Amino acid sequence: MLRPPISKLPRKPLRWRQIRQIQSSATRLAEAYDPVTIERAEDEVDVCIVGGGPAGLSAAIRLKQLEREKGKEIRVVVLEKGSEIGSHIVSGAVIEPRALNELLPKWQSMEDHPLTRPATSSHMRFLTQKLCLPFPHPPQMNNDGNYILSLSQFTRWLGNIAENEYGVEIYPGFAGSQLLLSPTPDAHDPWGNKVRSVQGVITNEVGLARNFTLKSSFEPGMAFRAKVTLLGEGAHGSLSKQAISMYQLRKEAQPQTYGIGLKEVWRVDPEHYEPGKVNHFLGWPLPYDVYGGGWEYHMDEGLVSIGLVIGLDYKNPYLSPYREFQRLKHHPYFRKLLSGKSERLSYAARVLNEGGLQSVPRLHFPGGALIGCSAGFVNLAKIKGTHNAMKTGMLAAESAFAAIHPSDTASSELSTADLSSYETAFKNSWVYEDLHEVRNMRPSFNTKLGLWGGIAYSGIDSLFLGGQTPWTFRHTPAGVKEKNQDSTSSLDASHTEPASWHQPIDYPPFQPPLSTDLMTSVSLTGTNHAEDQPVHLRVVKTRKYVQELDRARAGDENANLALGAGSSAVETCAKGEAASGEVEEEKKVRSEHVRVNDGMYAGLLGRACPAGVYEYVEQEGKEAESGEGWQGKKLVINSQNCIHCKLCDVKVPTQDITWTVPEGGGGPKYTNT
């Protein structure tokens, strides 16, 4: 899909310690990418925050507030992979302003704030194929004092405050691709093991061709050296995955579980617009053994947000989250809501954390910490996480400031920032209480009773027990957890059953403009990626990819960072006697992926991906001899369509899709999601 180039916000000049001038030449164009010999521009900062979402921006603002309060300077940089702040942000959203009230007590008097539509009602509905029935909802779902808004717009407003009122340096279009580590072990992880500390972030290279040769526009990624690195990438962030694995941060936690949220924003007929109205839906079109539900939020200016969340632990590989969402709109209730002079304005999708308190990992690591949805603070009973994301960003900021400007001499002599105080602050905060109260609700749906068992337990727990029980449910038996010890494999993927155990789902035809084909919806996202760049959706297990990153960091000249990007890319970067073996292994991995995912799971990703990125198609001509397919089928990755939802990384049964960042500025350009 070709899109116009996405313009980038103006950036402040960076204070480089080392600048390398890139010269274009025919010889340069013939070069293969070599991560070991590359020279990078470097910048030194106090705190580097990866991700310009609510958590990252709240952390940045709180750090600069402390600078004013304490009179001690601190340089804060926020790196955002989207083309501008807010362009990759998706949520319902009804926001609880508790954290905002603490961060910016006078926000209501601030110009152009987006919290202009208070929620006026809150109801739960149960859908059958034809009926919409009232249904009791837990007290946590009350929305008194909450606001309906576009989280993308809210984040953009928060970014303007951070940059213009507090002096935070925000760099959109900078995608963090690697953790910058100390040369040798210089710290201890939370378990006492001697490890290399995080000393910042390296951004993605720009100007690499699809086969990993250097284009005339090539620019090496930049190294942001930081005393503290905060990872606020959102659910299932790529750097967060690396940190969780490297430092065993999930050692004492349950595996994280996820849902996929699909959303549309409509401008509805004035007759159907009820400002402030909030509805949540259970039941149809999802089967009883699939966790999920829908929403309807009447925003400001005649806009209505509708959507569907589906737990990614669903079993049937024939299920299509996108088709389920489109089918939801065929219900008489939604058909009426979206009838008349109604117009669809936008479409979006993103995975969200569902694990709750028992899936929150250890939050700190040597030199940094996880904040917001990178750790997973969504309160699923409330169907809200922004307030918790913002508060954890603020708590981490206070810990980071204390580490950089310690009050005692002993702490000032430490070479690596220790943010363990953030962990303590979290456990003493209202965020912990918020999650503890509802910790058993999501896993209560994981019984043979399915939907009805979960509803029964959640009703009793929320209405009578208030979460004050001596037990905490697990998401999985202990034996299953053993599969997730490296923290890179997904629990949700392990729930997927072979296609032979299920029947294909007969979805109704689309009924434009009420429901449309997938590509029509994707066109509303404004998604754009440069076509001739490496495929950022790698067919390689994350653990293997991280090991290759470690080899490159260690200066191993045979490290091949093209793994998973296709045989031609691997061949470009392969060196020495192992070159032919690496290419053959790449083909073998791709072939095995097709064999299992198409042969056993009927090409699950072709239906599960909400942007049409993956296809399992017939090989043509000599392709069958390439060794990359299976029984005449091959995998096609349309990475230019990717809307950065991360579903593939979570749900693929073989757990061999590793989501890495594309060139900064690529991806969707959301404005009102």
* The one-letter amino acid at 113: H
Q: Note if 496 is an active site residue.
A: no
Spatial neighbors of 205 by CB under 8 A, at least 6 apart, are 33, 177, 218, 219, 220, 221, 663
Segment (H or E) for 307: strand 303-311
Token look-up 């994280």 returns: 256
Q: Note if 98 is an active site residue.
A: no
Spatial neighbors of 437 by CB under 8 A, at least 6 apart, are 140, 381, 466, 467
- Name the catalytic one among 58, 83, 91, 197: 91
Spatial neighbors of 258 by CB under 8 A, at least 6 apart, are 235, 236, 311, 312, 351, 352, 353, 354, 355, 490, 492, 650
Spatial distance between the Cα atoms of 237 and 621, rounded to a whole number of angstroms: 39
Please list, residue by residue across 157-171, b when 16 or more beta carbons sit within 10 angstroms of its beta carbon and e when fewer do: bbbbbbbeebebbbb
Q: Note if 373 is an active site residue.
A: no
Strand-pair partners of 547? none
Q: Note if 132 is an active site residue.
A: no
The DSSP symbol for 124 reads E
Token look-up 């589906």 returns: 310
| Residue 609 backbone class (left: φ over 0; alpha: ψ -120 to 50; beta: rest) | beta
Nearest to 45 by CA among 14, 66, 72: 14
Per DSSP (E only), the strands in 577-652 are 614-618, 633-637
User: Secondary structure of 201-214 in the HEC alphabet?
Assistant: EEECCEEECCCCEE
- Name the catalytic one among 515, 648, 660, 673: 648
Token look-up 């009804």 returns: 94
- Name the catalytic one among 48, 132, 373, 609: 609
Structure tokens at 394: 């603020």
Q: Note if 17 is an active site residue.
A: no
Q: How far apart are the first and last CA of the chain?
A: 21
- Name the catalytic one among 350, 538, 553, 607: 350
Spatial distance between the Cα atoms of 587 and 626, rounded to a whole number of angstroms: 8
Per DSSP (E only), the strands in 467-564 are 537-539
Structure tokens at 488: 């890179």
Give whole-number Cα distances, 360 to 246, 251, 379, in Å.
Answer: 16, 11, 12
- Name the catalytic one among 150, 386, 458, 496: 386
Token look-up 């390439």 returns: 626
Q: Note if 645 is an active site residue.
A: yes
- Name the catalytic one among 210, 590, 645, 673: 645
Catalytic residues: 91, 350, 386, 609, 642, 645, 648
